[in-house]
Amino acid sequence: MHPNCIIVMIMAVRVVDTIEYIILLVAFFATKTGLSEQEAYRYLNRYGAIALCEQHYDIMHTLAVEDNVNTLRAYCQRKGGTL
């Protein structure tokens, strides 16, 4: 297999892992706040928390989900969110 193909495959796996983790965080955030998953996603995206998750996935996925949900909530509040 060509080395460039391997790099593309590794990058694709990382993208899928990041997406799956963000979906998990949104679901936990929704449960914790009493929102639907769609509402939770919109709220987190509105205040930049989804971009934060994408940027810091390498660190966030090693931490407890509950801690990350609390961090996202505090982050959104600092950006003007009210939940």
For the chain, give every domain's residue range.
Answer: 3-78
pTM: 0.85
SS3 call for 47: coil
pLDDT digits (tens, 9 = 90+) for 11-65: 666 788 999 999 999 999 999 999 999 999 999 999 999 999 999 999 999 999 9
Sign of the C-alpha dihedral computed for residues 78, 36, 66 and 10 taken in this order:
negative
- Give the pLDDT band (50/70/90) at residue 74: very high
pLDDT for 15: 84
- 81 exposed, middle or buried (CB, 10 Å; 0-12, 13-18, 19+)? middle
pLDDT for 7: 60
Residues 6+ apart with CB under 8 A from 17: 57, 61
